[in-house]
Structure 1
Amino acid sequence: MGLQIALSTARNALLATSTQIAVASRNVAGAGDAGYARKIATLVTGNGTAQVIVTRAGDAALFTRKLAATSDEAASAARLDGLKNLSQTVGDTGDATSPAARLGALNAALQAAANQPASSDLARTAVEAARALAESLNDAAAAVKAVRADADAAIKQSVSTVNDLLAQFDAVNFAVVTGTANGRDITDSLDDRDRILTKLAAEIGITTLTRPDGGMAIYTDGGAALYERGARTVAFDPNAAPPGNAVTVDGVAVTGATTAMPLHSGRIAGLTALRDGPAVEYGRQLDAIASALVAAFAETDPTTTPASTVPGLFTGASAAGVRVAARVDPQQGGAVSRLRDGGIYSDDTVVNTTGAAGYAARLTILTGNLAAARTIGTGTDISGAATLAGFAAASAGWLSQQRKDVAADAEYQATLLSRATDALSNVAGVNGDDETALTLQLERSYTASAKILTVVDDLLKTLMDAVR
């Protein structure tokens, strides 16, 4: 009976130690994987048997914090990328191609033409400066449009990614539930589930709820259900007119100013905030500059009662559509002398009726109009009384400040994510040296158990020989 007990004990010890060594080897192999959590092999004894229970190191609160930090960092990064694109394309007051710089060049050209009204070369230079200003506004408006289109494309891609991740999560979550019910080792499945949640959090802000059966439900940080015993459909149509171009979960909008459950973080939230916030606001400011330009260079049509104001040097109702009038633009067959004489809109708006070469009154008025303070940008963040150059400089400064603020927030969120990741790694990560040392210790234990088996085997042989 004693030899049987010794044999059973040694055998159980071998099996248990073998399992512990296998777990330690898994840990060593997963040491370089950021999504791998250290496995803990706990030996449980009772009723003459030994069993190894495999659990996983971790901290639910730290993991939740990491998910939130991942979402916040992704949102800030998405906004910053878009603002950088706007700034790089449009420029600022120090950039010779910016609207503010082009306004300065036009003002200088008009003053030179007013000082020598008979010079067709100076008039041509002024018209060319006006064309360059219009083109810079066109380019800026195109940049705004491109940033918003890129944001829509990125949102569409993120929505597709979210749906793919939810499908993957469904399969892994099922493995966790069934494994829990059957008493299997589910630690690798839990790792896979956490990897998916981390990727999902980068796209869309989430919260999670673990159920008694080991399964998990996922909600957006605004409260909409993304996964409840099955994945919900996330959709986005970039071609729908606002506010229809919202991201929806099961048909319920989770982006947009009027939604009851808005997203607060994640790449989708950042892209939406960029598309519907700074990009739209900067576009309004550019439109305000274009509208003020048209007004500053307008002509008076005396043929109407009362006399009406009509477009002069500039035409168009927006930054994207502002142009130099064809009748004054030599590239379109126009005459630069109309800048001095009037008659850009039509022959009825001519003010230098005698065609005097030294007539400077109209050019002086245009210079004064360009430098005059006026109410600009009603409905924008920088509305008020300002000169055109002052408003353009304020607009460039506004964009620069937006980028600066978002850059500071992005840096802060990246730091938080790094610290949250490090904190979780300290708790759940693998130290390769420790695991190697543990493996050596377990191997010695395995060797000792094997020696016991050898001794018992020898004793049994001796006993059998004695019986014979």
Structure 2
Amino acid sequence: MGLQIALSTARNALLATSSQIAVASRNVTGAGDSGYTRKIATLVTGEGTAQVVITRAGDQALFTRKLAATSDEAASAARLDGLKTLAQTVGDTGDATSPAARLGALNAALLAAANQPDSSDLARTAIDAARDLAGSLNDAAASVATVRADADAATKQSVQTVNDLLKQFDAVNFAVVTGTANGKDITDSLDDRDRILTKLSAEMGITTLTRPDGGMAIYTDGGVALYERGARTVRFDPNALPPGNAVTIDGVAVTGATAAMPLHSGRIAGLTALRDGPAVEYGRQLDAIASALVDAFAETDPTTTPASVVAGLFTGASAAAIRVAARVDPQQGGAVSRLRDGGIFSNATAVNALGEAGYAARLTALTGNLAAARTIGAGTDLSGTATLAGFASASAGWLSQQRKGADADAAYQATLLSRASDALSNAAGVNGDDETALTLQLERSYTASAKILTVVDDLLKTLMDAVR
């Protein structure tokens, strides 16, 4: 009877140790995978039996913090990328191609032309400077439009990614629920589920709720159900009302000013904030510069009662539409003398009817208009009284501050994510050296159990020989 007990004990020890060695080997293999959590093989003994129960190392609070940090970092990175694009393309006051610098060049050219009004070359230089300024505003407006369009395209791709991840989550979540019910090892499925949640949190801020059956529900950080015993449908609506297209979950808007439960973090939130915030604001500032330019160079039409103000050197009331008038632009067949004499809108708006070569009054008036303080920027963050050059410089400075603020925030969020990831790795990750040492220890235990089995086998043989 004693040999049978010894034989059973040795066999159970071999099986248990073999399972523990297999788990340690899994840990060593997964050491390089950031989404792998260390598996713990716990030996549970009963009356004459030994069973290995496999669980995961981990810290749910740290994992939740990592998800939040991932969402915040993705949002700040998306916003920073767009602001960098605006800043690089538009420039600032120190950039010769920026609207502020182009305004300075136009002012200098007008002053030179006013000092020598009979010089067609100086007039042509002033027209060239005006054309460069209009082109700079056109390019800046195009950059704003591109950033907003790119944000929409990236949002659409993120929505597709979210839907794909929810489908993957549904399959893995089912595996966890069924494995829990059947008493199977579900630790790898739990790792897969955590990997999906991490990827999902980069697209939108999420919170999770684990149910008694092992299943999980997912909600946005605004409180909208994203997965609750089934995936919800996420859509990007390209036909939503301004200011921008909306992301919806089962028809509930989660982006935009009218969203009752908006997203607060994640790439989608960052892209939406960029598209409907700084990009729109900067576009309004550019439009304000364009509108003020049209006003500063306007002419008076005496043929109407009362006399009306009409476009002069510049036409078009937005940054995207502003142009140098064809009647004064030599590249379009116009006459540069109209800058000095007037008559850009029509012959009736001319002020130097005799075409006197030394007439400088209009050029002097234009330089005064350009340098005059005016009410500008209504509806923007910079609304108030300023000169055109001052407003343009303030606009460039505003964009620079937005970029610097986003840069600092992105660096801060990246640091938080790195620390959260390190903390979770320390709590749930695999130390290859420790697992290797544990494997060697288990192998020694396996060898000892095998030796006991051999001794029992020899004793049984001896006993059988004695009986014979």
In the alignment, structure 1 residue 222 sits paired with structure 2 residue 208: no
Residue 233 of structure 2 corresponds to which residue in structure 1? 233
Mapping 1:303-382, distance limit 5 Å: 303-382=303-382
Match of 1:409 in 2: 409
Cα RMSD (Å): 0.7
Partner AA of 1:334 in structure 2: G
Q: Distance in 2 between matches of 1:422 and 1:143?
A: 38
Q: Does 1:72 align with 2:72?
A: yes
Kept after mapping to 1: 8 A contact 2:244/2:275:
no
State the Cα distance separating 1:466 from its structure 2 match.
1.2
Q: Which residue number corresponds to residue 9 of structure 1?
A: 9
Partner of 2:43: 43
SS in 2 for 1:312: coil
After superposing on structure 2, the runs of 4+ consecutive aligned residues of structure 1 that deviate more than 6 Å are none
Structure 2: how far apart are the matches of 1:24 and 1:78?
A: 40
1:181 aligns with 2:197: no
Any conservation in 1 of the 2:244–2:276 contact (CA below 8 Å)? Answer: no
User: In the alignment, what sits opposite 2:156?
Assistant: 156
TM-score normalised by length of structure 1: 0.99
User: Is it true that 1:18 corresponds to 2:43 in the alignment?
Assistant: no
Q: Give the corresponding residue for 2:34.
A: 34
Quick one: which amino acid aligns to residue 391 of structure 1? F
- In the TM superposition, residue 237 of structure 1 has moved relative to its aligned partner by 2.6
Residues 109-188 of structure 1: pairs in structure 2 closer than 5 A: 109-188=109-188
**Contact residue 153 and residue 238 of structure 1 kept, 8 A:** no
Hey, what's the Cα distance between the residues in 2 that align with 1:73 and 1:67?
A: 10
Instruction: Work out whether residues 172 and 193 of structure 2, in 8 Å CA contact, stay in contact via their aligned partners in 1.
Output: yes
Structure 1 spans left out of the alignment, 5+ residues? none
In the TM superposition, residue 238 of structure 1 has moved relative to its aligned partner by 3.1
Aligned equivalent of 1:283: 283
1:259 alignment partner in structure 2: 259
In 2, the alpha carbon distance for the partners of 1:397 and 1:290 equals: 18
Change (3 A) 1:175 1:149: same
CA contact (8 A) 1:107 1:370 kept: yes
User: Within the alignment, does 1:101 sit opposite 2:92 as a pair?
Assistant: no
Q: Distance in 2 between matches of 1:238 and 1:203?
A: 18
Cα deviation, residue 467, structure 1: 1.3
The corresponding residue for 2:450 is 450
Shift of 1:369: 0.1
- Quote the offset at 1:317 in angstroms: 1.4
Q: Cα offset for 1:432?
A: 0.3
Q: In the aligned structure 1, how far is the partner of 2:275 from the partner of 2:243?
A: 12
Structure 2 SS opposite 1:54: strand
Q: Give CA-to-partner distance per residue, 1:77-136, whole Å, 9 cap, x none.
A: 000000000000000000000000000000000000000000000000000100000000
8 Å CA contact 1:7–1:456 kept in 2: the answer is yes
Query: Which residue does 1:61 correspond to in 2?
Result: 61
- Alignment partner of 1:434 is 2:413: no
1:47 offset after TM fit, Å? Answer: 1.5
Query: 2: CA distance between counterparts of 1:198 and 1:303?
Result: 69
**Residue ranges of structure 2 left out of the alignment (5+ in a row):** none
Whole-angstrom distance in 1 between the partners of 2:440 and 2:403: 55
CA contact (8 A) 1:299 1:309 kept: yes
* CA distance in structure 2 between the partners assigned to 1:199 and 1:258 by the alignment: 27
Q: 2:399 is paired with a residue of what secondary structure?
A: helix
**8 Å contact from structure 2 (residues 243, 276) kept in 1:** no
Distance 1:418 1:238 in 2: 35
Structure 1 partner of 2:248: 248
Separation in 1, partners of 2:136, 2:342: 25
> 1 CA distance for matches of 2:320 and 2:129?
17
Report what 1:198 is aligned to: 198
What residue in structure 2 maps to residue 418 of structure 1? Answer: 418
Distance in 1 of aligned mates of 2:420 and 2:144: 35
SS of equivalent to 1:260: coil
